[in-house]
Amino acid sequence: MSAPRRLPVLLLISLACGGGTDKHPSGDLPEVSAARLKEHISYLASDRLAGRGTGTPGYDSAAHYVAERFAELGLDSAGTSGYFQPVPFRHARAVDGSGLVLVGRSGRRALIPYRDYVPVPNFVAPRAEVTAPLLFAGFGVTAPERGYDDYQGVDAKGKIVVLLTGAPSSFPPAGRAHYASNRLKRENAVGRGAVGLLVVRTRDQTFPWDRLVRQSHRGNMRWLDRNGAPTDVSPALKGAGTLSDSAAAQVFEGAPQSLSQVLDAAAAGKPRSFDLPLRATLRTVSTYDRLESPNVAGLLRGSDPHLRDEVVVYTAHLDHLGIGEPVKGDSIYNGALDNASGSAALLEVARAFASLPTAPRRSVLFVAVTGEEEGLLGSDYYAEYPTVPLERMVANVNIDGLALLYPFREMSALGAEHSTLDSTVARVARRMGVTVAPDPFPQEVFFIRSDQYSFVRRGVPAVFPFMGMRSDSGVDAAARFKDWLATRYHLPQDDSDQPMDLEAGARNAQLEFLVGLEIANADERPTWKQGDFFGTTFGQQRAGSR
């Protein structure tokens, strides 16, 4: 389908850069400077910015830094207040007075918040309590198109449902990622009449329990709609939380299957659903505060009078976790790789576009988004209240974590296979001498875990280029990445002191630039593949609006 477009696109790029050949990996196109990337990362990840927590002064400094760079590059302001689009949030925390009590044949057991389970605050009721029987409902997934339903033969009405993280391994990666989403599971449970939700972690979790506990002390956020109401809440659900492994084992005591049998069945693909011989009282006391934190948006106008109203949207989240519990004596979660590096790349990709002798045919929008670490909130808000019409957004290219760990020779293009973006990425990769590999960690469902998903959910084809797991330096890339996940990811140790291969980062940013440039200059806008899961699920929302 996309093959006939290949030649014209390459020709256009060649024309745009003065007839450069493919002799150099990137022709005569602007190159991304490793030194500039370093400068941005050093500032954004400095202790001065205190980890850029959503709603903090450190984040605001980062936002001003981005806006100043956008202005220097001559980008049009594309926020609602200059370059800024302020996003209002409710920040909620479950506090003292919250608790979970299990009552079964063997008696009554009180579970301690932030030790035995991580409570989820209630966004609409400061004091919420529910007592109900427990139902184990597998992954909590209902996928009619696959003939799969964890609720088949059981009744969730008036019950607290106990669900596993993730989705069946038998699903293809896209469906697995989609159905693993908390939001979907919560909505499904509420639709079945559930009044509470407890999550049990499967065995393939790479995010350690103690880190989850540490992070959950910070509370949760939701953005507020134009009436000031928190969105993405389910008032019918009176309480929710995630169980520790030992609490989960207690929940399955005396049940038709033990926790370990359940986890075996889950790993094999299809857990059985059944009522648990327990009742639970889940009490949640929540405190609220209101925050505001801006997205930052700048636009480069396209040069083609017929195509310039269409927009390629680049996103990178500017926020990180801020100040938190100290680890090894450090309490600043600087987020150097996650995602000062991607924000730096966003700025340098914008510079590359701005320095083209002729602007690309379509317009290119650069959005540094807030609230990603709080649940993709800034991008969700932007996609809900976009400053360019949603139906004119032809694609989203998301940058979350540059390849800084080793010289890479492979990239994964998460999500590209769902649309014609896969051939775009393939062309760019060839040009740069990089191979494109499938998602190396499908069980991590990265595709729904960063900001591109906010656009995908509204029908916009998206790609999240992600560092590959092969290096040309003899490094065991996968081992190094896993080590990074274990020792630095979402820890204060993701700071500027870690070794960073900025040349690899610059090459990664160059690839991001070329992907957007191809999309911006192509004759046709990207389309979902015929019958694709996301295109079918979400794409029709935009059909007819073109």
Q: Which CB, 450 or 521, lies closer to Zn ion?
A: 450
Structure tokens given for 68: 């100043």
Residue 412 Cβ vs Zn ion, minimum distance, rounded to whole Å:
17
Cα 529 to Cα 544: distance, rounded to the nearest angstrom: 17
Contacts of 229 (CB under 8 A, 6+ apart): none
Nearer to Zn ion, 335 or 386 (CB): 335
Q: Are 118 and 242 in contact (CB under 8 A)?
A: yes
CA pair distance 454, 183, nearest whole angstrom: 12
Q: What phi and psi, each to the nearest 5 degrees, are found at residue 299?
A: -125, 135
Which amino acid makes up residue 329?
G
* Binding residues for Zn ion (CB under 5 A): 338
Residue 515 beta carbon to Zn ion: minimum distance, rounded to whole angstroms: 22
Shortest Cβ 53–Zn ion spacing (Å): 12
User: In angstroms, what is the minimal distance from the CB of 351 to Zn ion?
Assistant: 25
6 vs 211, beta carbon nearer Zn ion: 211
Task: List, as own/partner pairs, every contact residues 2-11 make where C-beta atoms lie below 8 angstroms and the sequence separation is at least 24, other chains included.
Answer: 2/420, 2/423, 2/424, 3/423, 5/522, 5/523, 5/524, 6/423, 6/427, 8/522, 8/523, 9/427, 9/518, 9/521, 9/522, 9/523, 10/427
Structure tokens at 176: 């697995």
Taking the complex as a whole, the smallest distance from the CB of residue 225 to Zn ion amounts, in Å, to 25
Query: CA 318 to CA 69: how far, in whole Å?
Result: 14
Exposed, middle or buried: residue 295 (CB in 10 Å: 0-12, 13-18, 19+)? buried
What's the closest the beta carbon of residue 444 comes to Zn ion, in angstroms? Answer: 12
Residue 195 near residue 238, CB atoms below 8 Å: yes
Residue 449's alpha-carbon distances to 308, 402, 415, in angstroms, are: 30, 16, 12
Closer Cβ to Zn ion, 63 or 154, answer by number: 63
Cα distance between residue 443 and residue 177, in whole Å: 8
**Distance (Å, whole) CA 158 – CA 313:** 43
Residue whose tokens read 């139906």: 391
Name the residue nearer to Zn ion (CB basis): 116 or 338.
Answer: 338
Residue closer to Zn ion (CB basis): 338 or 374: 338
**In the complex, least distance from residue 291 CB atom to Zn ion, rounded to whole angstroms:** 18
Q: Which is nearer to Zn ion, 495 or 518 (CB)?
A: 495
Q: How far apart are CA 425 and CA 511, in angstroms?
A: 9
Distance from C-alpha of 238 to C-alpha of 10, rounded to nearest angstrom: 56
Q: What is the closest distance, in whole angstroms, from the C-beta atom of residue 367 to Zn ion in the complex?
A: 17
374 vs 422 by CB, closer to Zn ion? 374
Separation CA 150–CA 248 (nearest Å): 19
Distance in angstroms (rounded) separating the CA atoms of residues 3 and 100: 58
Min CB(214)–Zn ion separation in Å: 14
- Closest CB 78 distance from Zn ion, rounded Å: 25
Nearest distance from C-beta of residue 340 to Zn ion, angstroms: 11
Nearer to Zn ion, 126 or 375 (CB): 375
Closest CA to 363 of 296, 298, 459: 298
**Among residues 284 and 341, whose Cβ is nearest to Zn ion?**
341
Query: Cβ neighbours of residue 493 under 8 Å, at least 6 residues apart?
Result: 327, 328, 330, 487
The residue whose two tokens read 């009619």 is 144
Output the smallest distance, CB 450 to Zn ion, in A: 8
Comparing CB distances to Zn ion, the nearer of 338 and 410 is 338
Q: Which is nearer to Zn ion, 94 or 491 (CB)?
A: 491
Burial class (CB in 10 A: 0-12, 13-18, 19+), 110: exposed
CB of 240 to Zn ion, least distance (A): 22
Closest CB 211 distance from Zn ion, rounded Å: 12
**Nearest residue (CB) to Zn ion, 338 versus 439:** 338
Residue 310 vs 372, nearer CB to Zn ion: 372
In the complex, residue closest to Zn ion by CB: 338
Residue 242 C-alpha from the chain's centroid: 20
Are 298 and 78 in contact by the 8 Å Cβ rule? The answer is yes
